[in-house]
Structure 1
Amino acid sequence: MLTMCEVSVRYGDREAVHGVNWEVGGASLVTALLGPSGCGKSTMLRAVAGLEPIASGTVAYDGHDLARVPVHRRDFGVVFQDGQLFPGRTVGQNIAYGLARRGMSRKKIGERVEELLQLVQLPGMAQRRVEELSGGQAQRVALARALAPRPRLLLLDEPLAALDRRLRDDLAVAISDIVRAAGTPTVVVTHDHGEAAVMADVVSVMREGRIVDTASPQRLWRRPGDEWVARFLGATRILEATAESGTLRTPIGDVAVGGVEGFADLPDGPCSVGLRPDAVRATADPDGQAVATRSVPMVGQWRIHAAVDRGPGAGIELDAVADRATEAGARIRLTPAAERIAVIGG
């Protein structure tokens, strides 16, 4: 268990991390630290690793204060955004680096390198020069190098940020599988909430140097702690609503959520609902409560900009999705999807 208690990190007069209290580990193998660029998440990871001095507070692992423990004694593995492989060396030499420094025999090093290459799905590549690797391969090698000494904690700092979208999606799944197969407690820093959902058991959201919400991905997406978190996770419209016996009564229609994971304990009473564009379905209906103002093509569907002009939601403008383009001025029916909405702070 990693524990941070009232941790602050300063750069001169600027405080990048503000009195953070945070726990990682226990029953959760992979924790994501999620937030926008510049919020302090990479600084916090570097403080855990010992690469950044803390101005106040304590960082402890399994109850032992790490204040006087140097970086190389913490037994933490670290992978940065660009992997930082050693140039001019082979894949095998990169992976073996930490093992050789620990005095392991050549035979055991070779066995461990092959084991790691199998784990990261790069068998037979020990003699390949790192300059010959693709971006995805290089990150797998960096991950293998970090895992080779069997660290007690693995720290991944935006490990996919430098890769293209398709490779990021594939590698997010692969990294999740790899660290789980290795059984290594892991913290991954990311600004991409899709990556956080794929990779982590628990997600902590950071804003302006503070942890503002922590939950499982499903819980976080469906029950964000406040409006800022909801908008950061994709909500483009916030509506006032009322929860009543497993039904949300919203200005654009009622939606039953009682059987949806994450809403079973939703208390009755006033609440706020966050709507992402894919949380509302638009269909042609001459009796619908809204009119389409614009259609924008997307992959496999259309985004419809809609203006509600009938019923309790009159005056509301929002985005929805549809299976086909809709002419401006056409009347449409807006229907919220129970699995896609978020109830804020409930």
Structure 2
Amino acid sequence: MVAITFLLLCVVTMGLTDDIVSKLDPGPRYQYMPGPDGRQHLVDLWVKTRNVNEAAKYNPDVQNAYHLFTRQNPTTSQPMVLGNEALVSSSNYDVGKTTIVLVHGWMSDPYSTINRVLVPAYLAAADVNILVVDWSVGAGTINYATAVLNTVTSGEGVARFISWLCGITGTSLTQFHLTGHSLGGHQVGVIGRNLGGVVPYIMSLDPAGPGWLTNDNRFQPNDGLYTEVIHTNVGVMGYLPALGKVDFYPNGGVNMPGCTEPKCDHDRSLYYFAESLTSQFTGRRCLTYLNALTGSCFLTQTLNMGGLEPKTGNSGIYYTETNAAPPFSKD
């Protein structure tokens, strides 16, 4: 009886083994991160066996959902499903228009701030198709390390969906723009990379910092023909160094006027970009991102932050200042 009990104990213990697979960041293993619910969550930045096993269960080709918004249906989406051509043909999708792809972040869903802010802003600024990516099955886990792994898996799946959509409709990849926030700010890079780097415009809005400092899958300058990053909470929720062909650090990129906590700073990138679709934010070029953090930018070149169209051919790091409340532009 004692031998059987010992054997069962060994089996249970082996089943609970949670080996360390990798370390997402070189810094502290644990840190607090504000979630979209505004609460602080203690996250583990070391990838363990359980994270890998959990991530392996996520299949974006089956579990991701896509919601189409147009000026004909600005508030109620039309669903699209990979492999279902009938849904596409019966929708308001217009092959002759630019298609904006929106990607949310950690513990978010189609009702998250990025979509509430940017869907109406885009439709007010231009007659476009908007595809809201719902990868909440992959992003919704409280285990942040798993969500980081799922960010890449989802990006690969979204790229397959876009390729399929182009194949059945005749749409060109040159008609797509990708915009993502937080984890979605890295995912849009993964999407663009898997589409061959030919998407004309990729916008990364305060891409996540934790879990991405040494992550080879992070947003990269050549993920699209023109890539831009707006940093609003660097070193806390957002990524600190420059990532795109063009990087903007409004107000120094950390603490935004009118905000009193990191989540507000992190989300400010959404509101700045939304306003930039119809307004102008003039940025002044900086030598380095360290100069941008302090606003010590004295080069003569200027560039508008955000906007509807890619600023292809431009590069560099820029600083701009905003108001504490709408309108945020000081121009």
TM score, norm. by length of structure 1: 0.28
Greater share of strand residues, 1 or 2? 1
Higher RCO (C-alpha under 8 Å, 6+ residues apart): 1
